[in-house]
Amino acid sequence: MDTFTRYLKAQGMVLLFGGLVGPIFLAVFFATGSDPVLKWMFYAGLVTTAAGVLAALALTNHAEKSAARDRYLQQHGVLGLARVTSLTETGVRINDQPLVKVGLQVTGPGLTPFDVEERITASVTRLPIITAGHLVVLVDPATRQYQIDWQRSGVVSGTLPAQFTITEDNATYDLSGQPEPLMEIMQILRQHGIPLGAEIDVRANPAVREQVTDIVRRVARGRPDGRC
């Protein structure tokens, strides 16, 4: 989304939540022939309209910074695991979805473990991921800024399937809901620039294939039923 589109979206939100009063006052003042009795409408409308424009610019600037941070974390962030240490309701609902306060303990390669609190809109798809107990995050080690990766979190939590077929074994192994080995595999995929998708074929990359196979087999040895 470009800057101008973000500004239009922000201006629309400002107008929706009361910013329309200023332009209405100005329109009424000029429509009545600039009646001196209604001069207060001109000043009130001018101030309100200017405040609305400034608010929209501030929202746009915030959105730009958030987008830049997210892009940086996607490209350079460390893949970490955040354990859910607490989950409390705030009593607030956004778009008829509960806003919850989640305590997280973040760990990862090269990271000093740290605790944070995050307010999350617990949608129907997100709530099962949160209650499963672990979230995947992308972290800037220097600033500890982080971003929750909901797709990877879904895999780690078990709400999305994580099955691995090894042709040499003529078997499919299920690692769904097992954070530690799945994080190892996702670290390998990220290091080799392989995006996480519904299906991932690593046969064309022998190095990745060998590493992933070793992890799956290592975990499988502890589960003779074929579910790792």
* Tens digit of each residue's pLDDT (9 = 90 or more) over 65-86: 777 777 888 888 899 999 999 9
- Which pLDDT belongs to residue 224? 40
The torsion angle over the Cα atoms of residues 34, 35, 37 and 40, rounded to 10 degrees, is -10
- Which pLDDT belongs to residue 2? 67
For the stretch 82-108, pLDDT in tens is 999 999 999 999 889 999 999 999 999
Encode the chain in three state secondary structure. CCHHHHHHHHHHHHHHHHHCHHHHHHHHHHHCCCCHHHHHHHHHHHHHHHHHHHHHHHHHHHHHHHHHHHHHHHHHCEEEEEEEEEEEEEEEEECCEEEEEEEEEEECCCCCCEEEEEEEECCCCHHHHHHCCEEEEEECCCCCCEEECHHHHHHHHCCCCCEEEECCCCEEEECCCCHHHHHHHHHHHHHCCCCCCCCCCCCCCHHHHHHHHHHHHHHHCCCCCCEC
Judge whether residue 213 has pLDDT over 70.
yes
- Which pLDDT belongs to residue 7? 66
Residue with the larger pLDDT of the pair 37 and 52: 52
Q: Report the C-alpha gap between 100 and 108 in whole angstroms.
A: 24
For the stretch 168-184, pLDDT in tens is 888 999 998 899 999 99
Residue with the larger pLDDT of the pair 31 and 79: 79
Average pLDDT, the chain: 85
Judge whether residue 4 has pLDDT over 80.
no
Mean pLDDT (whole number) for 201-209: 85
Judge whether residue 132 has pLDDT over 50.
yes
Judge whether residue 40 has pLDDT over 60.
yes
- Which pLDDT belongs to residue 15? 66
Calculate Rg over the CA atoms of the chain: 25
Phi, psi dihedrals of residue 134, rounded to the nearest 5°: -140, 140
Phi, psi dihedrals of residue 166, rounded to the nearest 5°: -115, 110
